[in-house]
Structure 1
């Protein structure tokens, strides 16, 4: 009995393991990820892109429906009637009618053209979304690299603060330092450790953000490869870049196609007053006589003038034109702002470079030496520690602004310019 129960338990566990493996399909993305691999992953698995692809499919289905040859399917009518003669005899009358509604006023073509334009607009919006997701992926990837560098710098600051605290305690035990000087070192170490905790938290957040964009289980380990080496982008003339951005932005092209679609729909609404014809052919047998013929039916636009549909279509056209003009203005503003933000961030990074951080660390070491020689006291230690923490934070903020500005400019220009981990890249389809 016991062995049978154990056997069933083992079998059950094996089945559960098999089910869990079949439900959770293995993810091919490695834990160590390059920037190119991350971009490829985002294009395939990002949920926003998948949703946009479904919207394109919906529009394509609507276009296929709009391209039908006739407004509706043919109708078949069957009739049967019994006829009684005065002499008491009876005969049966039979009738068959086939009806088909047909487009009038070129309404079928207008519907199909408008639907095709809506599909093209959706595809262009999808293309621009891919550009936006690529920029978000690049920003998230580089922010992980930046957060990782922030952890390393925080660990260096903690190491320096620990050395200073140990030295201050030894001097205090030797009677060469005061309690105030020891307290200053303890406070500095606490602040340094707090900075390290915040840096580790920011690294976790950056990894989670990247995992969300790439549609990766956030519990999985994710370690982007490479080091952050911001290189200056080679920007063309401002007016040239704005003009190329207007030509490049696929959402702007989609907006123009939406205007054309709304114009077709307005023409269609104006032609709805033209009724569709229904043609029919019939065959009847009455009193042993065969009757065949053709007929036409047409609705009379007596009570429904389609005025509401025409007014709504006119407003949709005006709305599409306003949205197109607003988007064009937005593209100009985003490009100009992106250029200004990037240039300012680039100058900040050039001024606040690694040498400045290294100098602040060296100042703290020199202060410790001077402290050991009795040349400085607690205020000098506090000043050196504050300076190191402030320089580190300012430098990291400048790098973060540079990443944000470069990726915002990438999106604003429709992917015309983008920054890599090393040498900046310009799309090969655009030449200066």
Structure 2
């Protein structure tokens, strides 16, 4: 088997130069035209890196996730104040009528000013600040997780377009071959060497091959439209892509590396941060059961005329926690913490199981492609060439030649489908493991 299996299935058709020179998936493909706008980029075959770049610039889901950072940053800024409760200032002015006729000025004006501050005494400020920091860290990890998911989704669409472009080339090669054989059949029928049945059969096969091209073309148009939607390209833009399906002899990672990566992927880190935030919110709610102390300091003037008194007072007030002990807040925070712990265990277990299953599937697909290429496809390719040559010199019938052609074509399709599944599975495996290394 050759190192890439680069369309050993495609001997019916020669791939365009861009597909041959850029094995899929490309990590660093230079382009003479920089990606400055979606409309401009959509006019050229797009590499995987260009598609990723366009998606990250325009995808609304990623933008919405990034926009949520502002709210989390604002909450953290509030918790970083010296005190959570703002001080309150008050002022009063009183006009008092004195009923005693002995006072010359029976109308007295009195005033007072003061300042009160509510203080938390059970460490609520630390719990609140830590919870906000953890929530912000979790959201940042979710932004990265959303970006990885977006790249995986884009890569899946990219692979399908590459596969259908390759399938189109394959079907066009079949039409070319059948057209040439149909011309031979017509000449042999005109010379009386073939029957009308053979001539009709050749035309039927040609019609079926052209119909297959139309079907694949419709599928390719739909795949390009789905890719354009994901990239937020204009409605009239249906991008072609630049790549080829390959199977590498050796993957750039081992199963152990993938499992290690899965345990520390952004989603898992976000869950860890959310668990810590929930734990601190529970501490905050428990601390809230302790009453806050309100301290006040005031000054004022009271009394008549020259007998007016200057007052300075200090007040302390504490609510008595007799009827409400914040059981509602504590219960909700406890439930949130339990759910976060359950989610952490479930996601960790499911992620590990998924990575193991996809790894086994990937190995199975690689072996299947190798088996089809080495033991089946090469022999069928040889049979097809021999059958075509034998038919043109009149050694075999048209039906025998078409049988060999159909067998080879069906096997090429099977290999292409297996290679497409391999590329899709590899993309899903790397996304599930959070792998960001070189592909």
User: Shorter-chain-normalised TM-score: which range?
Assistant: 0.7 to 0.9
Bigger Cα displacement from structure 2, 103-112 vs 298-307: 298-307
SS at match of 2:114: strand
Provide the rounded CA distance (Å) in 2 between the counterparts of 1:359 and 1:418. 35
Q: Does 1:396 align with 2:409?
A: no
Whether the 8 Å contact between 2:110 and 2:300 is mirrored in structure 1 is yes
Whether the 8 Å contact between 2:252 and 2:438 is mirrored in structure 1 is no
Q: Give, in angstroms, the shift of residue 138 of structure 1.
A: 3.1
Q: Aligned to 1:255, which of 244, 266, 271?
A: 271
Q: Give, in angstroms, the shift of residue 391 of structure 1.
A: 1.5
In the TM superposition, what are the counterparts of 1:277-356 in structure 2 within 5 Å?
277-287=293-303, 288-353=308-373
Provide the rounded CA distance (Å) in 2 between the counterparts of 1:194 and 1:354. 30
Alpha-carbon deviations, 1:190-220, whole Å to 9, x = none? Answer: 2212221122223223322332333322422
Q: Aligned to 1:180, which of 181, 194, 197?
A: 197
Provide the rounded CA distance (Å) in 2 between the counterparts of 1:122 and 1:254. 7
- Give the match for residue 428 of structure 1: none
Alpha-carbon deviations, 1:32-80, whole Å to 9, x = none? Answer: 2333233333333322221221123322222222333333332222323
Bigger Cα displacement from structure 2, 29-38 vs 394-403: 29-38
Provide the rounded CA distance (Å) in 2 between the counterparts of 1:50 and 1:157. 45
Bigger Cα displacement from structure 2, 44-53 vs 229-238: 229-238
Whether the 8 Å contact between 2:245 and 2:423 is mirrored in structure 1 is no
Unmatched 5+ stretches in structure 2 = 1-36
Alpha-carbon deviations, 1:105-139, whole Å to 9, x = none? Answer: 11111111001101111111222222222233333
Alpha-carbon deviations, 1:275-330, whole Å to 9, x = none? Answer: 22222111222112221111122222232221121111111111000100111112
- The change in CA–CA distance for 1:163 and 1:26 in structure 2 (over 3 A counts) is closer
- Give the match for residue 62 of structure 1: 75
Provide the rounded CA distance (Å) in 2 between the counterparts of 1:221 and 1:261. 45
Provide the rounded CA distance (Å) in 1 between the counterparts of 2:82 and 2:373. 68
- Give the match for residue 31 of structure 1: 43
In the TM superposition, what are the counterparts of 1:12-411 in structure 2 within 5 Å?
29=41, 31-32=43-44, 33-88=46-101, 89-220=106-237, 222-234=239-251, 236-247=253-264, 249-287=265-303, 288-353=308-373, 360=380, 363-364=383-384, 366-377=386-397, 379-411=399-431
Provide the rounded CA distance (Å) in 1 between the counterparts of 2:182 and 2:81. 82
Q: Give, in angstroms, the shift of residue 346 of structure 1.
A: 1.7
Provide the rounded CA distance (Å) in 1 between the counterparts of 2:151 and 2:271. 21
Whether the 8 Å contact between 2:258 and 2:435 is mirrored in structure 1 is no
- The change in CA–CA distance for 1:297 and 1:133 in structure 2 (over 3 A counts) is same
Q: Give, in angstroms, the shift of residue 414 of structure 1.
A: 1.0
Whether the 8 Å contact between 2:160 and 2:420 is mirrored in structure 1 is yes
Provide the rounded CA distance (Å) in 1 between the counterparts of 2:126 and 2:214. 65
SS at match of 1:223: coil
Provide the rounded CA distance (Å) in 2 between the counterparts of 1:191 and 1:360. 21
How large is the Cα RMSD of the aligned pairs? 2.6
Unmatched 5+ stretches in structure 1 = 1-24, 420-432
Provide the rounded CA distance (Å) in 1 between the counterparts of 2:242 and 2:73. 40
Provide the rounded CA distance (Å) in 2 between the counterparts of 1:145 and 1:411. 19
What is the total number of aligned residue pairs between the two structures?
394
- The change in CA–CA distance for 1:157 and 1:27 in structure 2 (over 3 A counts) is closer
Q: Give, in angstroms, the shift of residue 152 of structure 1.
A: 0.7
Q: Which is bigger in relative contact order (C-alpha 8 A, separation at least 6)? A: 2
- The change in CA–CA distance for 1:386 and 1:29 in structure 2 (over 3 A counts) is closer
Provide the rounded CA distance (Å) in 2 between the counterparts of 1:354 and 1:188. 28
SS at match of 1:352: helix
Q: Give, in angstroms, the shift of residue 381 of structure 1.
A: 4.3
Bigger Cα displacement from structure 2, 232-241 vs 336-345: 232-241
Whether the 8 Å contact between 1:59 and 1:115 is mirrored in structure 2 is yes
Provide the rounded CA distance (Å) in 2 between the counterparts of 1:139 and 1:355. 29
